[in-house]
Amino acid sequence: MTPLPPALHAEPLPLNDPTTGRVHAYRAGPPEGTPLLLVHSVNAAASAFEVKPLFEHHRSTRPTYALDLPGFGLSERSARRYTPRLMTDAIHQLVREIRRREGDTPIDALALSLSCEFLARAATEDPASFRTLSLVSPTGLEGRPRLGPPGATREVPGLYRLLSFPLWSNALYRNLTRPGVIRYFLERTWGGPGIDEGLWAYDVHTARAPGALHAPLDFLCAALFSADIGRVYQSLGLPVWLSHGSRGDFVRFRGARELSNRDAWTTTPFDTGAMPYFEVPGLFFEAFEAFLKGARRPPGQVGG
């Protein structure tokens, strides 16, 4: 099997910690400026390639980092349970390294889809490390806020044991990640056939890497979705930009109405699928830069 190439052409930044294991990140950009962290989504074939347009756009003007979450890309894919705690801790780990390397300044951070839940939790646990958050097509806002017990997940009881049974787990994953199936799900994400072919090709490749099935099993049984994420979103005190598309499977954001009335939150819809920066990069970057330029922490909040 051909080794998985890096998702991004950039400086590799390997990290290792007893809590998270081996985590891979990328860095590019000049030594000056507010650092930007980018976090891909979670699905059967996720990787930092999902944030490539963002990485390429910003790398010439500011320190820019992208993370392969545990279980994805070039990060460790060992047979273990993948949880919101593990993903959040990986973000904390990289944020500490960014601040160590870049002068201990609060950072701007952007996440996609389910990873918005991990990033938001990291920001509530360490608010001084973040200047702004940008949430692209976030989960947890489809309807009424999830207000479950702190740290609880939405895991379906018994489903992980069923999905991970050795007799069929590998066959199940291979069927879910056949090239045609990956294209089908990307078309549902885009809301049409005009997907990014480079992303599709990398998805096909990364889905065949050793250990690729482990993290998606936890995704499939909903163990990576937080039952308390409504409380987490509500507790964010720093400037937050929520952007989303109007086509495809990820268009339900009724729960964002309450949050959009808060002074710290800004919402921008796009006539696209769930990853608008692939489809309308000019419009997306214009809105993103306007948010970053105008971002101010509400009075009394911790951080820069």
Cα–Cα distance measured from residue 273 to residue 276, given in angstroms and rounded to the nearest whole number: 6
Cα–Cα distance measured from residue 42 to residue 86, given in angstroms and rounded to the nearest whole number: 13
Residue 20: inside a domain, yes or no? Answer: yes
Residue 299: inside a domain, yes or no? Answer: no
Please tell me the predicted confidence (pLDDT) of residue 268.
Answer: 95
Q: What is the dihedral of CA 278, 284, 285, 286, to 10 degrees?
A: 150
Cα–Cα distance measured from residue 35 to residue 63, given in angstroms and rounded to the nearest whole number: 5
Q: Which amino acid is at 93?
A: Q
Domain count for the chain = 1
Q: At 212, which CATH number?
A: 3.40.50.1820
Residue 255: inside a domain, yes or no? Answer: yes
Residue 304: inside a domain, yes or no? Answer: no
Q: Under 8 Å CB-to-CB from 74, ≥6 apart: which residues?
A: 4, 6, 7, 12, 24, 68
Edge-first strand order for the sheet with 36-39 is 11-17, 21-28, 64-68, 36-39, 107-112, 130-136, 240-245, 265-270
Question: Range of 261's domain?
Answer: 11-294
Please tell me the predicted confidence (pLDDT) of residue 229.
Answer: 96
Residue 6: inside a domain, yes or no? Answer: no
Q: Each residue's pLDDT tens digit in the chain (304 positions)?
A: 678 999 999 999 999 999 999 999 999 999 999 999 999 999 999 999 999 999 999 999 999 999 999 999 999 999 999 999 999 999 999 999 999 999 999 999 999 999 999 999 999 999 999 999 999 999 999 878 888 999 999 999 999 999 999 889 999 999 999 999 999 999 999 999 999 999 999 999 999 999 999 999 999 999 999 999 999 999 999 999 999 999 988 878 877 777 766 778 999 999 999 999 999 999 999 999 999 998 876 555 544 4
For residue 135, count CB atoms less than 10 angstroms from its CB and return exposed for 0-12, middle for 13-18, buried for 19 or more.
Answer: buried
Residue 278: inside a domain, yes or no? Answer: yes
Please tell me the predicted confidence (pLDDT) of residue 304.
Answer: 40
Cα–Cα distance measured from residue 203 to residue 45, given in angstroms and rounded to the nearest whole number: 5
Q: What share of the chain is helix, strand, coil (3-state, %, to 5)?
A: 40, 15, 45
Give the number of other Cβ atoms within 10 Å of residue 178's Cβ: 12
